[in-house]
Amino acid sequence: MTFYIISISLLAFVAVYALMGVWAERKISALIQDRVGPVEVGKFGLIQTFADILKLLQKEDIIPTRANKFLFALAPLLVFTSVFMGFAVMPFSPDYISSNINIGLFYFMAIVSIEVVGILMAGWASNNKYAFFGSIRSIAQIIAYEIPAGISILAAVMMYQSLNLQNIAYLQGIYSKEPIYFMGFWEVSKIGGIFSWGIFQAPHLFIAAIIYFIASLAESNRTPFDIPEAESELVSGFHVEYTGFKFGALFLAEYAMMFLTSMVLVILFLGAWYSPLPNIGSFALADYTNGTFWGLAWILLKTLALVVVQMWIRWTLPRFRADQLMNFCWKVLIPLSFACLFLSAFWKLIVL
């Protein structure tokens, strides 16, 4: 019974988050470009996207005549399901994780890779050259960027010595059973707060976090790595033939993916559900502001802040060219992430 309640509430959360995410994206882009964005439907246009999805669900569900009908229908389902399955291993607070498995991070990496198959399926089944180009680009990009993402994650995993996301979360604050050092020299196990977060446990983890963030932008097809969608070149990439509910599912998956990758970044490097406030002498701020509900609030706050940063990046940086994208991945990010990996090994053997 609890299984159903939890999965349905997660689905509801993802759906509402995606709608608000679309609203936030439109509003942020509008304000950055000195426009006003949605303002008519509801206060500040807050329910504009709810009206949009209502319209989208009523639309005729068009399947192109020459499309592969089975794959065409399966693709959005696969994309959304794979992203949604990723939420199963996310620790939302110290006491709550849907599935507390030892290979949580590995499972996350695997499940997110399935999304690529869905995107290829969508592009192939549409029988449209733009959709196919989009999906080919997406495959090349996601497979390339999974390497720096995986290796920077590995650098963090070597520091934490665990693949269980809940264990990793515990190791970044006052509830940790093992001692935590700020940059390897200052014991902060009892101080907690922002000083015990993953990015401050070792200098190279800071770089690993940045590498993972860049790679996660590419994995969720966000600007500056949105060449699979590239509106000005490919109309809208792999989902150009989709309408109605199927298009809605693909859109939902894109925003859910943004949330998921941001959440993994928060769990690995930004203290998961720990409060950023440290214990200062008798002001035990970290003790006060940690707990089940505090944890839920902190992790959502941090993740949503990262999502907003992703949107900010989208409306600031122009799109990479395909060759620049590959150059950047193979010549910059992968060597850097390997350096982080070796530094992790070095750090674990010699410094601590």
Partner 1 sequence: MSKLTNILKSVAGIVKGFALTAKHLFRSSKTVRENIQSDTYFSERTDNTSTLRYPHIKLPLPDNSRNQLHVEIDDCIVCDLCAKICPVDCIEIEAIKAVEDIGKTSDGTTKRLHAAQFDIDMAKCMFCGLCTIVCPTECIIMTDEYDVSLDNVAAMNYHFSTMTAEEASRNKIKLAAFEAEKKAAKEAALKATQEKKEEGNV
Cβ nearer to partner 1, comparing 283 with 312: 312
The minimum distance between CB 303 and partner 1, in angstroms, equals 20
Of the candidates 253, 141, 261, 143, the one whose C-alpha atom is nearest the C-alpha of residue 213 is: 261
Give one word for 184, left, alpha or beta, with left for phi > 0 and alpha for psi -120 to 50: left
Residue labelled with tokens 């509402």: 16
Q: How many CA atoms lie within 13 A of 160 on its CB side?
A: 31
285 near partner 1, rule: CB under 8 A: no
**Interface map 172-211 toward partner 1 (x if CB under 8 A):** ----------------------------------------
* Closest CB to partner 1 among residues 35, 55: 35
* Distance between CA atoms of residues 62 and 60, nearest Å: 6
Nearer to partner 1, 33 or 65 (CB): 33
With beta carbons less than 8 A apart as the criterion, state whether 277 and 228 touch.
Answer: no
- Choosing from 33, 65, 232, 282, the residue that interacts with partner 1 (CB under 8 A) is 33
With binding defined as CB under 8 A, does residue 106 bind partner 1?
A: no
Using CB under 8 A as the binding rule, whether residue 321 contacts partner 1 is answered as: no
Tokens standing for 177? 């059973």
CA gap 129, 291 in Å, rounded: 52
Binding piece for partner 1, criterion CB under 8 A, among 2-10, 30-38, 80-88, 182-190: 30-38
Smallest distance from partner 1 to CB 73, Å:
37
Q: How far apart are the first and last CA of the chain?
A: 45
The DSSP code for 283 is E
Tell me the closest approach of the beta carbon of residue 37 to partner 1, in angstroms: 9
**148, 327 contact by CB (below 8 A):** no
Q: Is 32 in the site for partner 1 (CB under 8 A)?
A: yes
Q: Return the residues of window 290-319 that contact partner 1 according to CB under 8 A.
A: 312-313, 315-317
Which residue, 46 or 313, has its beta carbon nearer to partner 1?
Answer: 313
Among 8, 12, 36, 305, binds partner 1 (CB under 8 A): 36
Dist. CA 174–CA 181, nearest whole Å: 12
Question: Which lies closer to partner 1 via its Cβ, residue 39 or residue 301?
Answer: 39
Task: Please report whether residue 57 would count as binding partner 1 according to CB under 8 A.
Answer: no
Q: Are strands 96-97 and 181-182 parallel, antiparallel or unpaired?
A: unpaired
Q: How many CB atoms lie within 10 A of CB 85?
A: 17
Query: Out of 8, 16, 31, 351, which residue is the one contacting partner 1 (CB under 8 A)?
Result: 31
* Contact residues: partner 1, CB under 8 A: 28, 30-36, 39, 312-313, 315-317
